[in-house]
Amino acid sequence: MVSYVIPLAVLVVLDTNVLVSAIRSRRGASFRVVSLIGGGHFDIAISVPLVLEYEDALLRAQPVTSLDEADVRSLLDYVCSVAKRQTIFYLWRPLARDPKDDMVAELAIAAGAYAIVTHNLRDFAPVADLGQRVITPHQLLRETGTLP
């Protein structure tokens, strides 16, 4: 296995499933990644379509969490306040089976992101074939030296 050591504040794109996992459980790597947003360990890129996807998914997941709608909106407001907003001028579709995954991939490519952070590595295999790194939240924590 290749070991990566990355400089501080690399730019990553968080797949929606990372945020949903984070609000569903405080125990996993996803929660740790989300809790480190804005802390200088890494930066995140967002686009308007991705933020709308985050909002939809988080509000759908909210009833099975301890968060209320105001908490979800506060989280999104914070993410938007610290993230790098990227405009996407070129569409690479279709890349993945899910058009929402294409949206994440296009953002990562447009932003020049270090990696896409997701739990669905297999779904992003076509993106990895283009040279875009695709890693898990645990890998991001390991590579940024932020594992507890």
For the chain, residues with pLDDT lower than 70 are 1-8, 90-99
Looking up tokens 């070991």 gives 3
Cα dihedral sign, 137-143-145-148: positive
How many CB atoms within 10 Å of residue 146?
Answer: 16
Averaged pLDDT score across all residues of the chain: 90
What confidence score (pLDDT) does residue 5 get? 56
- Global confidence as pTM: 0.90
Are the C-beta atoms of residues 117 and 133 closer than 8 Å to each other? no
User: What tokens appear for 147 in the block?
Assistant: 């594992």
CB contact at 8 A, 13 and 111: yes
Q: What is the pLDDT of residue 101?
A: 80
The pLDDT value recorded for residue 88 is 85
The answer to whether 36 and 83 have CB atoms below 8 angstroms apart is no
Q: Terminus-to-terminus CA distance in the chain, angstroms? A: 21
Given the candidates 3.10.129.10, 3.40.50.1010, 3.40.50.720, 3.20.20.10, the CATH classification of the domain at 10-143 is: 3.40.50.1010
SS3 146: coil
Structure confidence at residue 107 (pLDDT): 94
